[in-house]
Amino acid sequence: MSNLLHIDASIQGDSSVSRRLTARAVAAWQAANPDSTVTYRDLGADPVPHLDAAGGMGRLVPSDQRTPEQAASWALTERLVGEIAAADTVVLGLPLYNYGAPSTVKAWVDHLIAPGLAFDPETMEGLLSGRDFVVIATRGGGYADDAPRAGWDHAETWLPHGVALLGLEPRFITAELTLAKSNPAMAPLIPQADESLRNAEAAIDELWAPSAVSA
């Protein structure tokens, strides 16, 4: 039986474009895998704690020497890595916040970089490879090569490096200009925003379509 790990990170609830698109992706995956299961984690509503001085060093301390805080932090790391290890497919919603990934996504990735669980500390081989990692990225503005703020999206460029040690290779579907309809200054960009959203939806619908799977 196939399993998909669905992760949302937006703090915008029902108004979130990334949540709407990840839900569409999960529905497409379930249609292609009718006997599948889905595990859900909401980093926006229930964020994992950042690694801190009290517990974060637990991954570098032998298990019998960990403080209670370090043991609790490591237990959470084991749970988060285990969710990926149990999944055939991972779908992550990645909204752009202040030109970078939400801090909750960074905290999630920090927990995943766990020696012995997610990578071999001797060979540095990633232990989570072989999974389909689909990232639905959303941007309120425009960051294409010809845009005034080209290159300001540091979330989409960071994530492949952030998870590289684990053996995960994300593939991105991106919708941008999502603020065009709510920001009067961006009103002239609404047609481009609509086109970007349509393209993202079409790409999602093709992810696990029979023709895409057999190609």
Residue 23 token pair: 């839900």
Answer whether residue 11 shows pLDDT above 60: yes
pLDDT in tens, 21-68: 999 999 999 999 999 999 999 999 999 999 999 999 999 999 999 999
Please give the average per-residue pLDDT across 67-71, as a whole number.
Answer: 96
- 177 in Cβ contact with 196 (< 8 Å): yes
Q: What is the CA radius of gyration of the chain?
A: 18
Query: What rounded mean pLDDT belongs to the chain?
Result: 95
pLDDT in tens, 103-127: 999 999 999 999 999 999 999 999 9
Domain assignment of residue 99, given as a range: 3-214
Distance from C-alpha of 182 to C-alpha of 84, rounded to nearest angstrom? 36
pLDDT in tens, 143-186: 988 888 999 999 999 999 999 999 999 999 999 999 999 999 99
Q: How many residues does the chain have?
A: 215
Binned at pLDDT 50, 70 and 90, residue 211 comes out as: low
- Is the Cα torsion angle 80, 83, 87, 92 positive or negative in sign? negative
CATH (domain of 165): 3.40.50.360
Answer whether residue 76 shows pLDDT above 70: yes
Give the chain as a DSSP string: --EEEEEE--SSGGG-HHHHHHHHHHHHHHHH-TT-EEEEEETTTSPPPPP-TTTGGGGGS-GGG--HHHHHHHHHHHHHHHHHHT-SEEEEEEE-BTTB--HHHHHHHHHH--BTTTB-TTT--BSSTT-EEEEEEE-SS--STTSTTTT--HHHHHHHHHTGGGT--EEEEEE--TTTTT-GGGGGGHHHHHHHHHHHHHHHHHTT-HHHHH-
What is the pLDDT, as a whole number, of residue 122? 95
Mention every residue, 6+ apart, whose C-beta is less than 8 A from residue 164: 126
Binned at pLDDT 50, 70 and 90, residue 187 comes out as: very high
Binned at pLDDT 50, 70 and 90, residue 212 comes out as: low
Question: What is the number of structural domains in the chain?
Answer: 1
What pTM value is reported for the model? 0.94
Express as a percent the part of the chain with pLDDT over 70. Answer: 98
